Amino acid sequence: MKQDLCALLRGNPYPGRGIVLGRTADGKSSVAVYFIMGRSANSRNRIFAEEPDGIRTQAADPAKMEDPSL
């Protein structure tokens, strides 16, 4: 069943975590997408940062960080 992922996510105030697997429109490439959304202010202030050996999360705006241990 084909669904509009953008519409599903837009209509959900808290989608949480998700993995989307698919193909490009021309069918030549595979696509994998991971997303994360938190409820707390600290969680909503996270972004993914690329590192030489992978990715990690970091504060999008360090001034808005409430509890660095999280």
pLDDT band at 60 (very low <50, low <70, confident <90, very high): very high
pLDDT at 41: 84
Q: Name, in order, each residue with C-beta under 8 angstroms of 36's C-beta and a sequence gap of 6 or more.
A: 16, 17, 46, 57
pLDDT at 70: 66
**Would you say residue 3 has pLDDT above 70?**
yes
pLDDT tens digits along 7-52 = 988 888 888 889 999 999 999 999 999 888 888 888 888 889 999 9
Q: Which residue has the tokens 């193909």?
A: 23
pTM over 0.85: no
Using CA atoms, how far apart are residues 51 and 26, in angstroms rounded to an integer? Answer: 30
